[in-house]
Structures are given as C-alpha cells and as structure tokens.
Amino acid sequence: MKPNAIALLFCLMMMSSTIAGCIGGTDTTTPDDELDDWDTYYVASTADLPDCDSDILGRLYYVVATADFHACTAADWIVVDLTGADGTPGALGAAGVDGLTSLGVINPEPAGANCAEGGISFAVGIDDNDNAILETTEVDQTQYVCNGASGSGGSNSPPSLNARVWDGGLPSGLVDDGDGTMSIAFLLEWYAFDMDGSIASVGIDYDIDGIIDIEFPSDSGAVDNQASIQLADGDVLVGGFSVPLETGLSVTRVENFVADEESLVAECGLIIQKTMSIVAIDDLGAKTALPITIGVDSTSSDYYRPVTSWTIQAEFYDYLPISQNDLDWLNGIGGSTCPAAPQFTLTDHQDSLTTGVDNVATLTITSAGDWSYWHQYSDWGENWYVSAYCIDANGDDIYLEGTITYDGADSDNPQTGDTISIKDNQNADCNSQTPEVRVRIYMGWNLEPLHITVPIS
C-alpha cells in the first residue's frame, strides 16, 4: 500500500475515534453520517490548495510535495503538525576497521604504444599490504600524459649585421705576403646581433664562398686583437685585418669620370675594387652576409678616383690581377682612344759610389705617350719635373738637390729614348748605407707623382 494512502487511512481512523466520543445519546445523527461530511482531500502542492473560504471551512488537505496536512480555518490555511517530540539520542556505535591507503606513482613513459612521442604514466591503486609502496600487482588503473608530436621548424630570423672599413686600403695598406702575392690591410668596425638567439660566429669571408676565413674576436668591435700587420712600405698597422688580393677583385672601365670638383677629368680610367663579405651565423645556423668593398686609390669613403694610365705605373699595381685587355684599353693600345701616359724606367748607374759627385741612376723615357695631353695639367711653368732621393737603411728619403740633368734635345718636348741623369752631389748623400735611390716624377697639378725605386751600388 502506498505511504500516502496509509497516512490518509490513519488520519481518518483518528478523527473517527474522536468524533465518536463526542456524540451524545440523544442526537438523532449517527456517527456514520458525521464522518461522511468530514472528508480529507489530496493535492500535489500548496499551489493547488483552493481558496480557504466558507465553502470549504474545516476541510483537511494532504499536500504530497511537502508530505503534511493543511486545514482550512477561519484564520486561513494552517499546517497540521502530527510529529511528536524528538526522542533521546542512542549510544554511539563501535569504531570501524581502518581502511587501506590509496597510492599513486608517476613515471616517465618512453615512446611506444602508449605514447608515440613519449610522456609520463600515472598509476594508482590500493596499498593492500600496507607497505607504502605501490607494487605492480596493486595497480588498479594507469593513465598516460603524452608529449605532442614534433612540429615543423618555426621561423628563425637571421642575424642583424653592420660593418664598414673606416681606415686603410690601397695603396698605403699593401702587405707583401712573401710569395709573390700581396694582401690589403685595413681597419674595420662591425656589429652583429641576433634577436631570437645568439651569435655563434662572425668574421670575414674574403673569397665570398660563404665560409668565414677570419673570425672576429667578438660580436662587435672596431679593432682586432691579432698581431700587428707589417705593411709593404715599412709602416705597421695595429688592430687591423689583412686579406689577399688574388680573389674578389673587380675592375670597371670608366670614361670622362670626375671624382670631385678638384680632381682632373679622367678621360679613361679603371675603378678597381676589392670585395669581400662580413658573415654572421646564429646559434641555429641562420646566416647573414654583408658585402664590403674597398676601393683601390679611393680618396675617401664617398667617392673613387679612377686609376689612369699615369697612376697605374705605380709599383703595387703590378701585384693586382688586372687583365691585359684592361691594361691595353687604358694605355690606348689595340684600337683604344684612351690617352697613353709617358712611361719611364730607372736603372742603376754602373759607376761606383765615392765621396764626391757620382752618377747614381739613369731615368729613361721608354715611351713619350700622349705627352701633350698630360702637359695640360702643369702648373709650375714646366710640363714635368723630377726629384731624386737616396733611401737609407731606415727607409728614410735623403733629398738630392740640384743633381738632375736632362740629356735629351728638348725637355719641353721629350721624346721616347731621352734620359735624365741622377747624380749625387758633393755631400755624398748616396753611399754604402743608402742601398736604394727613388725618383718622383711630377706631371702636373692634381696628378699623383710617379714613384720609381731601384737598388744602387
């Protein structure tokens, strides 16, 4: 039987007993008649209770939602409480047996069936033998946390790099390699930086093959910490770098070129450049290469002065790998219209050196060239001029004054084959302590003098 039905039956029995006790013997109404009017009603919730008015006054309703009785009285609905007072609490029960401990263990998980890229395993279970160790037979469940699959390589930014030559170069920076080749010495400043890592190496790639040939001592700097560089002219360059001239040399022909407003117009000239790369490599192998160009006979970092048929007679140009085609074009050979410069040779005079006036050397005009073209740059009343010097053991020049004699027919119109005698004066400046003689040939304003040196005895 449902609990609600039992409750209703119980209530009806109680009310029936109470009413029966109150009925007098002279009342003509029977108990059964009174109970027929004392109905108990059933609703699902208090919201379903009807309005408590005179029509239902005294009715009793059982509310299922709250499991209690509501009676309609003159004062509105009231809850009829059928619960008795609480009894005395019973005695505590006996303590239960202690439970077993739960354990968990984390271990690395190798790559395999459970985790393709490896990871960790997390095993849990009850410590059945109570030894605080989760043994294999006690593991109830194992979960795995796996590493993610390897992703494709992310973007690695190459290093930032800046560099420039701030001093040196040719011709003053010429270095004799001692094997018939020459190198060029210079001072360089550089700066390398990697925004998403670090610089692994930075240096000079002098043959532009992508490989660093000379490594810098730091990521940034302005001098090297290598040994001083001995230059071909006897000077010493401290803190510089030296790279060979056999590779990375470029030659460009120019015509009617003006380096600046004070320089002569080069009707024909060669711009000669030594090119190399500064290379920086980061910790992930990304590489940045910065081309650096050193101009031969450049007058500043802003412009070049072309090498003409006059200036290319300087001795150090003999060491540069300039093609014969370029040399012929510059000297007006093979159909070239370029003005050929006068050419000279200097030879030792055979006379022995004495304490008096000696013939020291002979300067010969091996080719007069286009003399009139070069004569236009004269600014001292003569179309050319020669000075001579003995060079002592320290490399210092000793000027020979008043010792130049022109042996040709007309010094204003020199011809191929004419000679100039170089003599020592009565001061005996040239002797056994001066093993060389040097002449400087001046051709005109803003033309570098031509230097020729020869050993003497």
Which residues of the chain register pLDDT less than 70? 1-39, 84, 96, 150-154, 168-172, 226, 259-265, 297-303, 350-357, 377-383, 402, 426-429, 431-433, 445-446
Lookup: tokens for 431: 């002797």
The reported pLDDT for the residue numbered 136 is 87
- 274 DSSP β-pair partners: 249, 294
The reported pLDDT for the residue numbered 9 is 42
Please state whether the peptide bond connecting residue 339 to the residue before it is cis, i.e. omega within 30 degrees of 0: no
The reported pLDDT for the residue numbered 449 is 84
The reported pLDDT for the residue numbered 234 is 77
Is 446:264 a contact under the CB 8 Å cutoff?
yes
> Phi then psi for 414, rounded to 5 degrees?
-65, 150
CA distance 184 to 287: 26
Measured at the alpha carbon of residue 322, what is the angle toward residues 318 and 326, in degrees to the nearest 5?
120
Is 208:139 a contact under the CB 8 Å cutoff?
no
69 closest CA partner among 60, 59, 77 = 60
- 143 DSSP β-pair partners: 122
Residue 430 CA, chain-centre distance (Å), reads 59
- What is the Cα Rg of the chain in Å? 57
pLDDT in tens, 137-154: 988 888 888 888 765 556
- Residue pointed to by tokens 């730091």: 218
242 closest CA partner among 280, 283, 263, 213 = 213
Greatest pairwise CA separation for the chain in angstroms:
187
The reported pLDDT for the residue numbered 232 is 78
> Phi then psi for 312, rounded to 5 degrees?
-75, -5
CA distance 148 to 193: 32
Domains of the chain, earliest start first:
3-80 (no CATH), 102-146 (no CATH), 164-330 (no CATH), 343-455 (2.60.40)
Is 309:341 a contact under the CB 8 Å cutoff?
yes
- End-to-end CA, the chain: 146
The reported pLDDT for the residue numbered 32 is 45
Task: Tell me whether residue 103 is exposed, middle or buried, using C-beta atoms within 10 angstroms of its C-beta: 0 to 12, 13 to 18, 19 or more.
Answer: middle
pLDDT in tens, 67-111: 888 889 988 888 887 776 777 887 877 776 777 778 788 889 999
